[in-house]
Amino acid sequence: MSRKKYSVAIRDVIAEEMRSDPSVFVMGEDIGALGGVFGCTRDLQKEFGKNRVRDTPIAEAGYVGTGIGAALTGMRPILDFMYLDFVYVAMDQLLNQAAKLRYMYGGRATLPLVVRGQQGIGRGNAGTHSQSVEAFFTHIPGFKVAMPSTASDAAGLLRTAIRDNNPVMFIEHKALYASSEEVPDDPNFAIPFGKAAVRRQGKDVTIIATSLMVGRALEAAEALSKEGIEAEVIDPRTLLPLDLDTMLKSIEKTGRAVVVHEAHKNNGVGAEIASQIMEAGFKFLDAPVVRLGAKACTLPFSLVLENAVVPGVDDIHEAAKQVCYK
């Protein structure tokens, strides 16, 4: 085990996979000499050269299309997005091509493509650099979607993503890059998709949180504990596939659920999770499932307003008490 930052854990897994598999390569903006705005590709070009760590023009649709072609012809590209907000520029390639090709070729083609990058709040990057894009990729069938909330999960899930023969949307968080924890050194350390992590055990209420919200949910759980409410915190880790079983097992015990994400609450992934819980576990519920998400407004530039728009520790605390009728 080595203590690593989230961003370094990602860089190291990319390097290890590139060493063991010559078909793995990286493309994106400012990833070569600069090593990426957040350091996720630092020094990779020195080791692997300009052919395998390719800087691209500011033309997302172009290099995503290039990556799809490479993947179809046997390579395992990792496409780097400086900000995941920019996927909107490449949506035709992503959702009309990448998501559909395996189906349209009748399963005779594989598409081992990883699209990775960071999203979310934390730096006051304003409306077009702070969004959460996961709902687009869980809505259109074809992508797997991973959202690691810790350094170790980032490493284990990224390895699974690179080795998967399907397109994977790998969603990191800018505010988590500096967080660090012990990460296994095993060059084959991988976390399977579709297995949620129970971050905290509790018997009174289940809080399901993704990415940055996992930490806030754990903080809220500590505060709730002082008031006699023991919250169980579940991090799904991948949104597609989604580990409903772990959530239902928890809710059978607690009878109450709060779903928290940073993305907009309206039509967000939380609505899907809440619905699945109700369809499969209605009888377990003592209260309606409550969703928390960003308000339906553009993410503001001001850090103060940014925090006012997305769910905070207090919001999670209040929602948990509400479903406990306290």
Binding interface with other proteins (CB under 8 A): 255, 282-287, 325
What residues are labeled active site? 60, 129
Residue 171: partners with Cβ closer than 8 Å, 6 or more residues away: 84, 116, 117, 118, 119, 132, 133, 134, 145, 146, 147, 211
Taking the C-alpha atoms of residue 23 and residue 317, their distance in angstroms, rounded to an integer, is 47
Residue closer to other proteins by CB (options 109, 285) is: 285
How far is the C-alpha of 89 from the C-alpha of 196, rounded, in Å? 31
Q: Which is closer to other proteins, CB of 67 or CB of 255?
A: 255
Cα 146 to Cα 237: distance, rounded to the nearest angstrom: 6
In angstroms, the CA 205 to CA 229 distance is: 8
Cα dist. 126→120, 134, 171, 183, 270 in Å?
Answer: 10, 18, 18, 32, 23
Give 108 or 283: the residue with its C-beta nearer to other proteins: 283
Alpha-carbon separation of residue 316 from 149, 178, 247, 291 (angstroms):
17, 23, 17, 10
List, in order, residues 6 or more apart from 124 with CB less than 8 Å away.
130, 301, 302, 303, 306
Q: Which of 64, 63, 73, 58 is nearest to 23 (CA)?
A: 73
Nearest approach, Cβ of 281 to other proteins (angstroms)? 9
Tell the smallest beta-carbon distance from residue 232 to other proteins (Å).
Answer: 16
- Bridge partners (DSSP) of residue 198 are 234
DSSP for 74-140, please give it.
T-EEEEEESSGGGGGGGHIIIIIIITTHHHHTTT-S----EEEEEESSSS---TTSS---HHHHHHS
Please, what is the minimum distance in Å from the beta carbon of residue 256 to other proteins? 8
How many Å from the N-terminal Cα to the C-terminal Cα in the chain? 42
